[in-house]
Structure 1
Amino acid sequence: MSSGTNKKLLSKTQADGEGPAVILIQPQMGENIGACARAMLNCGLTDLRLVNPRDGWPNEKAVSSSAGATLVLDNVKLFDSTEAAIADLHKVYSTAARVRDLVKPVVTAREAAAEMRAHWDAGRKIGLMFGPERTGLVNDDITLTDTLISIPLNPGFSSLNLGQAVLLVAYEWWIAGQEVEDRYLHTGASRPATKAEMQNLFEHLEGELDLTGFYTHPDKRPSMIRNVRNTLQRCAMTEQEVRTFHGILAALSGRKKQRKPEPDAGDAEG
């Protein structure tokens, strides 16, 4: 199993068979086709259509650069015209660096993803069209599409290769259909500490601080306690970390026996 690959979940992707078709118009390099297939499968897409690939098909270089995305490559559909490649689709989005004087709605990849999800839920088939690596889409191809996708990047350097462009658009499609936590704590084999465990730690710490005379001004004690508690809360401690902290407090207070150092070999009596 390759890194980042789960064959059990991969079979579910095949069974679902959902998502827009990716149409590559006259792709030039097999390596780029393979990179596109990899990007597609990263995002659960499997319908890849090629219109007049320059180096023909099949292409061994596409296989070697796909990182095992054979689920996509084994089902590639070949076409000799753009019209034939999109004939069964209801809505087609295209990517182009320049609008080229055509009157066409332009949306970001994120907005396009939301629109595509709505079309898909309504039973409409969708396509994502990408042009050749060197020239991009020509006007005749763009005219056949409904909406242009713009990917706002550094205006001084916005060049993308074909695989990158496919990944950016496909990722937005994927994430628009997922319930994904934007941020979470990875706790390994432990678990997040409960509020009761945190409260116990607070009381242990505050008791030890009382014994040392840390709170020199009784009137400031409540605000100092709140600050210390708030600091520890922000740490998002695990139950293992709480136990470790209890151990640290016990050691500092002298209630844990110190291990006697092992005698050095040079100290042995001769």
Structure 2
Amino acid sequence: MPLDKLLVVLFRPKYAENVGSVARAMLNMGAAQLVLVDPQGYEMDRALPLATVHARHILEGARIVSTLAEALAGTSLVVGTTARTGGWRKGLLTPAKAAPEVLTRLHEGGSVAIVFGPEDRGLTNEETSLCDQLAMIPASPQCTSLNLSQAVLILLYECYQLALTRPFEPKGPPTERDASFEERQALFASMQEALTAIDFLKDQNAEYWMLPVRRFFSRFRLRRNEFNLLMGICRQVRGVAARAQRAAINDLPGSIDFSEK
């Protein structure tokens, strides 16, 4: 199936019945990998009637993890969903615009996650910061929020329909793999340290001001060799900043030079 390696990630879902409906929607569109992150009071017995007997295997095979980072481990692309706009939530994709990138990564053998937030509030800025792209389903201004399973169905429908018109053609392995989710997060942490060291970012609320940097890098595919290059640059920047700080301290009146002679 074209969507075999697509992960549907539900972050802190509140109602087991919605999880069951999501499983049914996944079965309709050929997706089978469900991940629940810290579900609230989840009981499979409440989810099963909505999943129906046909999607029971999706619920039984669902992974339950405690953190979003754990759910996204090993993925090459993360698409978050949101009903809110403005602030740092810019460059939002429609489901139809997100589907081609999802299918491209899947056809290349990568693992893709589509993340859906809690029914009452959706994903926060902290959670969307872990996503490479954000998708929004256009809806009437009178009611922009959708039922969780409806949102899942719409995203998966676009991916499935595109898969029908873009059949999978096996290709040789890429010359260089994509940087994994863990590697991208390590790079962002290293960049934050480097940018803070040169006072581009301030210590206070540095993670918030890193959001546009993260969004910039999400606009293109980061390969493993590029990850290594950027990590090396970050190390050099931190080293230069540390030496400059030591030199400034040594230049202070009455300071002692502890450098090697």
**TM-score, normalized by the shorter chain, greater than 0.5:** yes
Match of 1:220 in 2: none
Structure 1 CA distance for aligned equivalents of residues 89 and 15 of structure 2 = 31
For residue 105 of structure 1, report the CA deviation from its aligned partner. Answer: 3.1
Check conservation: 1:79, 1:85, Cα contact below 8 A.
Answer: yes
For residue 48 of structure 1, report the CA deviation from its aligned partner. Answer: 0.2
The reply to whether residue 137 of structure 1 matches residue 123 of structure 2 is yes
Aligned AA for 2:135? I
Structure 2 CA distance for aligned equivalents of residues 128 and 42 of structure 1 = 16
Q: Which piece of structure 1 moves more, 25-34 or 104-113?
A: 104-113
Check conservation: 2:3, 2:160, Cα contact below 8 A.
Answer: no
**Other structure's SS at 1:106 match:** coil
Match of 1:166 in 2: 152
Structure 2 CA distance for aligned equivalents of residues 31 and 142 of structure 1 = 25
Structure 2 CA distance for aligned equivalents of residues 179 and 164 of structure 1 = 23
- Render the CA deviation track for 1:89-110: whole Å, top value 9, x for unaligned: 1100011111352255311101
Structure 2 CA distance for aligned equivalents of residues 148 and 17 of structure 1 = 19
Structure 1 CA distance for aligned equivalents of residues 133 and 91 of structure 2 = 5
Check conservation: 2:5, 2:110, Cα contact below 8 A.
Answer: no
| Identical columns (%) | 33
Check conservation: 1:48, 1:77, Cα contact below 8 A.
Answer: yes
**Could you list the runs of 5+ residues in structure 1 that have no partner in the other structure?**
1-12, 181-270
**Other structure's SS at 2:64 match:** strand
Q: 1:78 aligns with which of 57, 64, 67?
A: 64
Q: 1:88 aligns with which of 54, 63, 74?
A: 74
Match of 1:121 in 2: 107
Aligned AA for 1:80? S
For residue 28 of structure 1, report the CA deviation from its aligned partner. Answer: 0.5
Aligned AA for 2:52? A
> Aligned residue pairs: how many?
165
- Root mean square deviation of aligned Cα: 1.8
Check conservation: 1:100, 1:139, Cα contact below 8 A.
Answer: no
Q: Trace 1:21-32 onto structure 2 (pairs within 5 A).
A: 21-32=7-18
Match of 1:60 in 2: 45
Match of 2:187 in 1: none
Check conservation: 1:117, 1:177, Cα contact below 8 A.
Answer: yes
Q: Trace 1:225-244 onto structure 2 (pairs within 5 A).
A: none
For residue 150 of structure 1, report the CA deviation from its aligned partner. Answer: 1.4
Q: 1:41 aligns with which of 27, 32, 39?
A: 27
The change in CA–CA distance for 1:176 and 1:19 in structure 2 (over 3 A counts) is farther
The reply to whether residue 155 of structure 1 matches residue 134 of structure 2 is no
Structure 2 CA distance for aligned equivalents of residues 105 and 89 of structure 1 = 21
- Render the CA deviation track for 1:181-230: whole Å, top value 9, x for unaligned: xxxxxxxxxxxxxxxxxxxxxxxxxxxxxxxxxxxxxxxxxxxxxxxxxx
TM-score by length of 1: 0.58
Structure 1 CA distance for aligned equivalents of residues 84 and 78 of structure 2 = 17
Structure 1 CA distance for aligned equivalents of residues 116 and 155 of structure 2 = 11
Q: Trace 1:211-250 onto structure 2 (pairs within 5 A).
A: none
- Render the CA deviation track for 1:16-35: whole Å, top value 9, x for unaligned: 77141000000011100000
Check conservation: 1:43, 1:174, Cα contact below 8 A.
Answer: yes
Aligned AA for 2:114? L
The change in CA–CA distance for 1:100 and 1:139 in structure 2 (over 3 A counts) is farther
Check conservation: 2:8, 2:35, Cα contact below 8 A.
Answer: yes
Aligned AA for 1:62? A
Q: Which has the larger radius of gyration?
A: 1
The change in CA–CA distance for 1:132 and 1:103 in structure 2 (over 3 A counts) is closer
